[in-house]
Each structure stands twice: as C-alpha cells, then as structure tokens.
Amino acid sequence: MEFKHIHTRFRAYQLGSKGSSFSYWDSNTNSFWLCEARYNDDNITSIQDELRQCNKTKIDNLYISSWDTDHCQSSELSNILKIHKPTKIYYPRHYPDPEKQNQIDSKKLIDTYIGPPIPFKSDCTNLASKEAIDWQYTDVFYLQKLTGKVNDDSFIFLFRSGNFSVLSLGDLESEILSKEISNIKVFKETDILILPHHGSSRDFTTVELLQTINPKVCIALVDRENQYGHPDATVYQRVYENSWYYSTKDGDVIIESNGAEHAFFTVYNYISNGKQLKTVKNFSGKRIDAYRNQFGRFFGFF
C-alpha cells in the first residue's frame, strides 16, 4: 500500500464583522469548497486569491453550516451563486426561522437556484466503520438528532479527501452531542478542528472531546475586532493544554500540504488579512502518522 501525496490547502478568512468563512481544496478531487455563505469586501479578494493558488476558476461546492447571519447572508449568498455557480450546495436540513427574513430569503435563493443541489441522506451507519487507515478518503457529513435548539441544528462536515482533515461543527453547543461525536470513529481522524460556535461553547468543547478527537490544530473563526471576546477563556485553556491554537482575529490562517515527501502540513498565520506573515509551523498529519506506524517502522523508513 502506497501513501498518496495530495496537494491540499485550507484557508480561514478574516471578516470585518462577526462570522465564519473558510475554504478547502485538494488535488485528489480538484474540488474547491467555499464554506459558509459570506462573500464581501473583507474576504472576497482573499477568496479570489485562494482560487488562483489552487488553479481554479470557480467554486465547486458551497457548504453552509447554519442559517444564522454570521454563517449565511442572503445578499452575499446571491453573489456567490451568480458569480461562481457552485455545482453542489450543502445546507442545514432544518427549515429556516419564519420570523427571520434573511433565513427565508437564503433558502429561497437555494430553492430557485439553477443547479443540482444535493439531496440529503440521514443514514450515517458507515461512519463507525471508517478508520484513518482507510486510504480511500471521501468527505463525510453527519446529520445528528435534533435537540430542539437552533445552534444544535448545525450541519457537521468532515473534509477528509486531502492530506489533512478539517472538521466543521458549526454552532454546536450540546454536551450530549459532544459525547456522541466523540464516540464516532471517523472524527478521530481530524487534524484541524474549527472550534464550534467560534469557541464560545464550554458544554460542547469539553476536555473529553479534545482528547478523544485529538486535533493537531484548533482554529477560532472571529472578526478582526473580536467584539464577543472569542474564544471563551475556559475553552481557550482546554485547547491550549491539548492542541495548537490559531485565530482569524489578526488575519487569515492558511494551511497547506504541498505533496512533498512525508506530507507534512504547514500552518501560516497572517496579520492584516494575509499581507504580513506572523508565524509558521509544521505538523505531521494523522494520515501520514498512520502510514508511518503501519509501514515505516516495520521497514525502518522513519
């Protein structure tokens, strides 16, 4: 069995107002994912730059974890659909709040969009059998049981087709869901964890979750003013003791594995929205770790 080197890029975009925005691309699928329907003067130039870095002319897939305005704004969604015409749209299964016009307008835009948004499947029985040693990597999404709380209706997605995996948990808050996710084997592949609810949820982002999923890197998606003071101090301490922490408060966070030998990935933390480099750090992803553990030690390669 041969380890496949895959050029992979992730970028978390700094916003001028509260919200989340990131992208994921890998040379294996050559699919560019824009995550969250945020597209404005704060991140549009960076998104266009990222498309060029990936030799892409369009967004292939749009993923929306929540109908809330910090994740999806109808005017910005409209521009994404008009300009980039994504082939697939992944969006929350629960119906938008009838008292929130932005949510109603966003769902209507998707319903009337001329394209093939994917149908949802709620069968997640395959997740328990997936392991990091399974080299046929495909992205997985997970539709958990609803708790009756809007934030817990967030659409969970694990991007795992590249050399490092990224887990998006939207605005999840429930401790029950945290335990449930901790017990699903596939989520233990996570290299990069997008902190749920911008790092504000103590009940969800528990020590148990962090130690079980054991991400190499955690990222808080916040605006440059960080008006809500994310992440929560307790969550930050838990992350600090279990992982490496980054934030979009200062600027974009770019993570890349260029397919070179050993497939390490590098985290670049920028200041001023990608114009000045703050820090650079290399990590070995779980995919290469699994390969080394199974084959490298036996043959003495590592």
Give the side-chain half-sphere CA count within 13 A for 72. 32
Determine how many CB atoms are found less than 10 A away from the CB of residue 178: 22
Mean pLDDT of 232-238: 86
Question: Cα separation of 19 and 233, whole Å?
Answer: 19
Judged by average pLDDT, the poorest of 11-15, 22-26, 238-242 is: 238-242
Using one digit for the tens of pLDDT, what is the confidence trace for 145-166? 556 777 777 888 899 888 899 9
Angle of helix 101-112 versus helix 74-84 axis, rounded to 10: 20
Cis amide linkage into residue 86, ω under 30° from 0: no
Confidence of residue 1 (pLDDT cuts 50, 70, 90): very low
Using one digit for the tens of pLDDT, what is the confidence trace for 253-277? 999 987 655 568 999 998 866 678 8
Mean pLDDT of 79-98: 88
Residue type at 263? A
Is the pLDDT assigned to residue 200 strictly greater than 70? no
Closest CA to 197 of 171, 216, 178: 171
Determine the pLDDT at residue 302: 42
Q: Give backbone dihedrals phi and psi of 256, rounded to 5 degrees, phi first.
A: -140, 140
Mean predicted lDDT score pLDDT of the chain: 82
Determine the pLDDT at residue 262: 53
Determine the pLDDT at residue 214: 94
Beta strands (DSSP E) in the chain are: 8-12, 22-26, 31-35, 61-63, 88-90, 140-142, 156-159, 166-168, 192-194, 217-220, 244-247, 253-257, 264-271, 276-284
The set of residues, in sequence order, having a beta carbon less than 8 Å from that of 185 and lying 6+ positions away, is 127, 128, 129, 130, 131
Determine the pLDDT at residue 116: 59
Closest CA to 136 of 6, 285, 294: 6
Going along the chain from its start, the domains and CATH numbers come out as: 8-299 (3.60.15.10)
Residue 247, both tokens: 């934030």
Determine how many CB atoms are found less than 10 A away from the CB of residue 271: 15
Judged by average pLDDT, the poorest of 69-78, 100-109, 258-267 is: 258-267
% of the chain residues with pLDDT over 70? 78
Q: Give backbone dihedrals phi and psi of 168, rounded to 5 degrees, phi first.
A: -110, 125
Determine the pLDDT at residue 62: 94
Is the pLDDT assigned to residue 16 strictly greater than 60? yes
Tokens 């440059």 locate to 224
Determine the pLDDT at residue 128: 43
